[in-house]
């Protein structure tokens, strides 16, 4: 710019010039930062070792726990390095990665993928990957539910790293207020129904202001009523088992008594059930069925909360210490590159190789172990002493009445439709029997469709 | 020289051409092939002829449910979108002070990302603490549970769709601005009332814009997915299981890619047929001012 042009510069022109110089300077600064200051995330701390790529679904505080377990594994031996990665929407991405021929070496999953993926040859049978002696030992030691949940058509595909068990949480102060002894939690479902009625609270317009108790999750109640969704002897689904119908009828009875919409209205006004906002902690429920992970959350967010836990009481003719259980699973995709490394990591975490050491990890996550060996380890017993209410869940874990999701290749569809049947019966748009019969036919049809899909007519 | 110029032209166009062939053309044809196959992603597709289509029409009741749901949505949402869009555009065509502020306000919802809109409406329609039911309570009406009620879940989504008419409103507004003033002057001279001017000048003159929005609205509503996926997941009782949602579940939850491809092609044929019918009728009601 010559002197003449500079002399002609108007204030607007000057402002534009400054803006231009500033944007060039900013671009140069970013380029310099990228070149000098930015270091990409470190992928490896042990360059010489065999990598074990581990995808999981945990985030925030949970991801910290997982990273610590991986770190401990990496420090414990010199051959492998586990590289953890949080993958949201994990099953879909694993699916695509598997299809693309580049799956992770192991993956943390919910169990619903086991039958569907195993049926399609996408999972490595762990029983074949393990040394026969190791497998036999593990098979005999695992809690029954852990064994069942990882098994499909005689092979073992998913090794649980933590199981979930559901039981009742209740508020002693609500019991006292309603004239009940909090030390005497109902022993039968009929008693629970009677107490629940007295624990409900309403405002002057008859809107619910506190729920005494309301059931959800048909699978739990099927287990408690002594029903089942799968006949393991005949290897077929038993959706319309008479006790399943009884369980759903009992659930529908709650809607009939307290009003489906009225309960829904009340629940809609509550915060989410996530972590610190769990409505049980704020007193919105007197008795609620929930999982063992809540104990650690209560300790973290409301350590002075007065609460107790107890197994869900069975109805007359039902099963004690029963509930539906699921778990976090480690699977090895069939296309994984480092299967042995993945197996070693899984064994390390779940305590197959050293239960006492793994017990510590389970206390970090507040998880239920997969073998009594881990549960009996001193560090785990110490955890139970610190959180006495946790014992309820550990005791249920060994119960033969704990049920798992049926091992059918259409598991995701089955669970989706089961939710529909529960909804239909609780909204009283259909009788419990008709609702279950409807989904039985749907699932049968889906099974036929899928069989066609798996074995196309030649 | 001409050949060289030709080559240069293609080179410049190549990113789009290659992108179109690889990311649109190939999946389009591949999905047609896959619709005749069983394909679970893990294993190579196997040819099964018309089996997927047979299952679709004879052995999948949820296919019919999802089709009914999407038709219900289309039948109500598209005409309502057009009616509100045109009405709003006419109001915002007024020459009053601060009109651009009003236009901005009504246009804003259409630029909010659909996920944010969905979460916002989850709050608005919350049966207990939502704004809608709170206002209804003030008038003494006990509102429904909206998205929690099979009878109200689809209407809820339709209301939400109407809230976002700002996008089409802007196009109608442009159409309105395009109407020659002379036509209104002539109508005034002839003694036409306001209603007559709207009926015989404004509406006929913006029929090409209405036609455009009708076609785009039909195509969009047959593919309705995101809001239902986020807000209801298809429930309660399958009342918001729209076609595209059912298709998504088949493909990515139940690993039936072949079947989902067949569903996609059936939807494609439906959309093409409906659009063709609309195109056929345009001679009768769309005026291009010629």
Same domain, residue pair A413 and A366: no
Q: Please report, in angstroms and rounded to a whole number, the separation of the first and last CA atoms in chain A.
A: 80
Interface check B237 vs A, CB under 8 A: yes
- Which is nearest to A418 in space by CA: A217, A124, A235? A217
Same domain, residue pair A225 and A316: yes
- Which is nearest to A293 in space by CA: A55, A82, A54, A65? A65
> At A231, is the secondary structure helix, strand, or coil?
strand
Number of residues that this document lists for chain A: 458
Contact: A449, B43; criterion CB under 8 Å = no
CA atoms of A368 and A328, how far apart (whole Å): 10
Question: Do B146 and B127 touch, CB atoms closer than 8 A?
Answer: yes
**What are the chain A neighbours of B47 within 8 Å (beta carbons)?**
456
CA atoms of A219 and A415, how far apart (whole Å): 9
> With pLDDT > 70 as the criterion, what percentage of chain A qualifies?
95
- Residue A192 domain-assigned (yes or no): yes
pLDDT, tens only, A145-193: 899 889 998 899 999 888 899 999 999 999 999 999 999 999 999 999 9
Tell me which chain A residue has its CA closest to the CA of residue B38. A453
Last residue of a domain, one of A355, A386, A417: A386
- Residue of higher predicted confidence among A189 and A7: A189
Confidence (pLDDT) at A43: 65
Interface check B258 vs A, CB under 8 A: yes
CATH numbers and ranges of domains, chain B: 61-285 (1.10.3720.10)
Confidence (pLDDT) at A447: 87
Whole-complex ipTM: 0.86
- Residue A38 domain-assigned (yes or no): no
Test mutation, B36, B51, B57, B128, chain A, max A CBs within 10 A: B128
Same domain, residue pair A110 and A242: no
Q: What is the DSSP string of B117-178?
A: HHHHHHHHT-TTT-HHHHHHHHTT-----GGGSTTTHHHHHHHHHHHTTHHHHHHHHHHHHT
Contact: B43, A121; criterion CB under 8 Å = yes
- Which is nearest to A110 in space by CA: A421, A437, A405? A405
pLDDT, tens only, A284-322: 999 999 999 899 889 989 999 999 999 999 999 999 999
Contact: B145, A264; criterion CB under 8 Å = yes
**What are the chain A neighbours of B38 within 8 Å (beta carbons)?**
452-454, 456
Confidence (pLDDT) at B10: 93
Same domain, residue pair A414 and A315: yes
pLDDT, tens only, A199-221: 999 998 888 999 999 999 999 99
Helix (H) or strand (E) holding A109: strand A106-110
Tell me which chain A residue has its CA closest to the CA of residue B58. A445
Question: Do A346 and A158 touch, CB atoms closer than 8 A?
Answer: no
Question: Which tokens is B61 given?
Answer: 């009741």
- Which is nearest to A169 in space by CA: A322, A312, A309, A323? A309
Same domain, residue pair A138 and A251: no
pLDDT, tens only, A32-67: 887 777 666 566 788 889 999 999 888 888 889 999
The neighbouring-strand residues paired with A326 are A164
Closest-CA distance, A64 to chain B, in angstroms, reads: 28
Q: What is the DSSP string of B52-109?
A: HHHHHHHT-HHHHHHHHHHHHHHHHHHHHHHHHHHHHHHHTTS--TTHHHHHHHHHHH
Return the ∠ at Cα B264 (arms to A454 and B41), rounded to 5°.
Answer: 35
Confidence (pLDDT) at B288: 83
Confidence (pLDDT) at A38: 67
The domain tally of chain A equals 2
What does the pLDDT average to over A417-441?
95
- Residue A291 domain-assigned (yes or no): yes
- The beta strand positions in A258-322, using DSSP E, are 287-291, 308-310
Query: Looking at the predicted structure, is the pLDDT value of residue A96 above 60?
Result: yes
Query: Looking at the predicted structure, is the pLDDT value of residue A113 above 50?
Result: yes
Contact: B59, A445; criterion CB under 8 Å = yes
Contact: B51, A448; criterion CB under 8 Å = no
Question: Do A164 and A326 touch, CB atoms closer than 8 A?
Answer: yes
CA atoms of B33 and A61, how far apart (whole Å): 46
Test mutation, A94, A116, A265, chain B, max B CBs within 10 A: A265
CA atoms of B238 and B233, how far apart (whole Å): 9
Last residue of a domain, one of A356, A386, A416: A386
Confidence (pLDDT) at A209: 92
What are the percentages of helix, strand and coil residues in chain A, rounded to 5?
Answer: 50, 15, 35
Contact: A454, B235; criterion CB under 8 Å = no
Contact: A264, B238; criterion CB under 8 Å = no
CA atoms of A341 and A350, how far apart (whole Å): 14
Contact: A117, B42; criterion CB under 8 Å = yes
What does the pLDDT average to over A120-141?
90
Buried b (16+ CB within 10 A) or exposed e, B221-237: bbbbbebbbebbebbbb
- Which is nearest to A254 in space by CA: A72, A455, A432? A432
Contact: A269, B126; criterion CB under 8 Å = yes
Query: Looking at the predicted structure, is the pLDDT value of residue A7 above 70?
Result: no
Contacts (Cβ under 8 Å, ≥6 apart) of A443: A237, A239, A410, A413, A414, A417
Same domain, residue pair A241 and A189: yes
pLDDT, tens only, A382-392: 999 999 999 99
Contact: B55, A269; criterion CB under 8 Å = no
Confidence (pLDDT) at A111: 61
The per-residue pLDDT of chain A, averaged, comes to: 88
Question: Do B285 and B82 touch, CB atoms closer than 8 A?
Answer: no
Same domain, residue pair A294 and A425: yes
Interface check B90 vs A, CB under 8 A: no
Return the ∠ at Cα A128 (arms to A122 and A130), rounded to 5°.
Answer: 115
Question: Which tokens is B209 given?
Answer: 């814009």
Tell me which chain B residue has its CA closest to the CA of residue A410. B254
- Residue A219 domain-assigned (yes or no): yes
- Residue A183 domain-assigned (yes or no): yes
Question: Taking an 8 Å Cβ-Cβ cutoff, which residues of chain A contact chain B?
Answer: 92, 95-96, 98-99, 116-117, 120-122, 261, 264-266, 268-269, 410, 412-413, 416, 419-420, 423-424, 427, 429, 442, 445-446, 448-450, 452-454, 456-457
Test mutation, B42, B123, B134, B248, chain A, max A CBs within 10 A: B42
Contacts (Cβ under 8 Å, ≥6 apart) of A216: A289
The per-residue pLDDT of chain B, averaged, comes to: 92
CA atoms of B239 and B231, how far apart (whole Å): 12
**What are the chain A neighbours of B126 within 8 Å (beta carbons)?**
268-269
- Which is nearest to B145 in space by CA: B68, B248, B66, B232? B232
Nearest by CB to residue B41, choosing from A95, A261, A413, is A95
CA atoms of A116 and B253, how far apart (whole Å): 10
Same domain, residue pair A188 and A83: no
Confidence (pLDDT) at A454: 35
Query: Looking at the predicted structure, is the pLDDT value of residue A90 above 80?
Result: no
CB atoms within 10 A of CB B136: 14
**How many contacts does A have with B, using Cβ atoms within 8 A?**
92
CA atoms of B181 and A410, how far apart (whole Å): 65
Same domain, residue pair A153 and A231: no
- The beta strand positions in A146-188, using DSSP E, are 151-152, 155-156, 159-164, 166-170
> At A49, is the secondary structure helix, strand, or coil?
coil
Same domain, residue pair A367 and A247: no
- Residue A362 domain-assigned (yes or no): yes
Q: Is the link from the previous residue into A187 a cis peptide, with omega within 30 of 0?
A: no
- Residue A32 domain-assigned (yes or no): no
Nearest by CB to residue B42, choosing from A99, A264, A427, is A99
Q: Determine the number of helices (DSSP H) and then strands (DSSP E) in chain A.
A: 21, 16
Range of the domain at A139: 50-165+325-386
CATH number of the CATH domain containing A54:
3.40.190.10
What does the pLDDT average to over A425-454?
86
Residue A328 is classified by DSSP as: E
Backbone angles phi, psi at A162, to 5 degrees: -165, 140
Nearest by CB to residue B237, choosing from A95, A423, A457, is A423
H-assigned helices in A313-369:
339-350, 355-365
Same domain, residue pair A59 and A69: yes
Contact: B148, A268; criterion CB under 8 Å = yes
- Residue A30 domain-assigned (yes or no): no
CA atoms of B190 and B195, how far apart (whole Å): 14
Contact: B40, A268; criterion CB under 8 Å = no
Instruction: Report, as ranges of residue numbers, the positions in chain B whose pLDDT lies below 70.
Output: 289-290
Question: Do A197 and A254 touch, CB atoms closer than 8 A?
Answer: no
Same domain, residue pair A313 and A437: yes
Tell me which chain B residue has its CA closest to the CA of residue A205. B142
Closest-CA distance, B129 to chain A, in angstroms, reads: 6
What does the pLDDT average to over A226-233?
92
């Amino acid at each position: 710019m010559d002197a003449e042009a500079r002399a002609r510069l108007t204030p607007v022109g000057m402002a534009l010039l400054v803006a231009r110089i500033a944007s060039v300077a900013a671009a140069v600064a970013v380029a310099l930062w990228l070149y000098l200051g930015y270091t990409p995330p470190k992928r490896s701390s042990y360059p010489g070792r065999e990598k074990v790529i581990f995808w999981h679904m945990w985030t925030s505080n949970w991801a910290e726990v997982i990273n610590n377990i991986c770190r401990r594994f990496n420090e414990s031996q010199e051959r492998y390095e586990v590289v953890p990665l949080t993958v949201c929407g994990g099953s879909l991405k694993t699916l695509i990665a598997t299809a693309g021929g580049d799956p992770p070496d192991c993956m943390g999953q919910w169990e619903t993928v086991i039958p569907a993926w195993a049926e399609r040859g996408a999972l490595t049978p762990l029983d074949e990957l393990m040394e026969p002696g190791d497998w036999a030992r593990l098979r005999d030691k695992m809690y029954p539910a852990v064994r069942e949940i990882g098994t499909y058509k005689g092979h073992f595909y998913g090794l649980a790293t933590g199981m979930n068990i559901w039981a009742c949480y209740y508020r002693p102060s609500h019991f006292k207020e309603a004239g009940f002894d909090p030390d005497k939690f109902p022993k039968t479902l009929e008693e629970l129904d009677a107490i629940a009625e007295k624990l409900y609270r309403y405002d002057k317009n008859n809107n619910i202001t506190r729920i005494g108790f309301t059931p959800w999750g048909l699978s739990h109640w099927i287990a408690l009523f002594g029903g089942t969704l799968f006949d393991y002897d005949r290897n077929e689904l038993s959706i319309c088992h008479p006790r399943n119908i009884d369980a759903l009828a009992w659930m529908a009875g709650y809607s009939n008594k307290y009003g489906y919409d009225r309960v829904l209205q009340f629940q809609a006004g509550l915060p989410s059930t996530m972590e610190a906002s769990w409505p049980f902690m704020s007193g919105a429920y007197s008795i609620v069925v929930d999982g063992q992970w809540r104990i650690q959350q209560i300790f973290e967010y409301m350590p002075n909360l007065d609460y107790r836990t107890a197994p869900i009481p069975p109805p007359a003719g039902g099963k004690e210490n029963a509930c539906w259980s699921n778990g976090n699973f480690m699977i090895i995709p069939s296309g994984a590159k480092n299967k042995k490394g993945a197996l070693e990591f899984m064994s390390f975490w779940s305590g197959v190789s050293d239960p006492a050491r793994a017990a510590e990890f389970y206390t970090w996550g507040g998880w239920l172990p997969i073998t009594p060996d881990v549960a009996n380890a001193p560090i785990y017993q110490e955890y139970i002493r610190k959180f006495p209410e946790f014992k309820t869940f550990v005791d249920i874990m060994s119960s033969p009445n704990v049920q798992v999701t049926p091992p059918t290749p259409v598991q995701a569809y089955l669970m989706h439709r089961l939710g529909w049947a529960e909804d239909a019966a609780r909204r009283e748009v259909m009788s419990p029997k008709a609702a279950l019969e409807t989904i039985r036919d749907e699932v049968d049809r889906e099974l036929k469709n899928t069989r066609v899909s798996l074995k196309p007519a030649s | 020289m001409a050949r060289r110029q030709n080559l240069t032209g293609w080179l410049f166009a190549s990113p789009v051409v290659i992108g179109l062939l690889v990311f649109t053309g190939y999946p389009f044809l591949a999905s047609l092939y896959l619709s005749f196959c069983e394909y679970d992603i893990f294993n190579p597709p196997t040819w099964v002829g018309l089996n997927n289509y047979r299952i679709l029409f004879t052995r999948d009741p949820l296919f019919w449910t999802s089709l009914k749901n999407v038709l219900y949505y289309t039948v109500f949402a598209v005409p309502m979108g057009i009616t509100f869009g045109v009405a709003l555009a006419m109001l915002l065509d007024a020459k009053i002070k601060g009109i651009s502020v009003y236009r901005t306000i009504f246009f804003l919802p259409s630029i909010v990302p659909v996920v944010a809109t969905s979460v916002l409406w989850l709050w608005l329609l919350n049966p207990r603490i939502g704004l809608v039911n709170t206002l209804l309570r003030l008038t003494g009406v006990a509102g429904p549970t909206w998205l929690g009620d099979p009878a109200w879940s689809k209407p809820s989504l339709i209301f939400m769709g109407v809230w976002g008419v700002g996008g089409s409103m802007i196009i109608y507004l442009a159409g309105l601005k395009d109407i020659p003033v002379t036509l209104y002057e002539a109508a005034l001279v002839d003694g036409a009332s306001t209603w007559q001017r709207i009926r015989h000048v404004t509406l006929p003159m913006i029929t090409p814009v209405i036609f455009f929005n009708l076609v785009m609205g039909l195509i969009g509503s047959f593919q309705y997915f995101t809001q239902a996926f986020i807000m209801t997941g298809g429930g309660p009782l399958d009342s918001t299981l729209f076609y595209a949602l059912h298709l998504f579940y088949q493909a990515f939850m139940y690993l039936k890619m072949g079947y989902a491809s067949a569903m996609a092609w059936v939807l494609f044929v439906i959309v093409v047929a409906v659009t063709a019918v609309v195109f056929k009728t345009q001679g009768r009601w769309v005026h291009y001012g010629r």
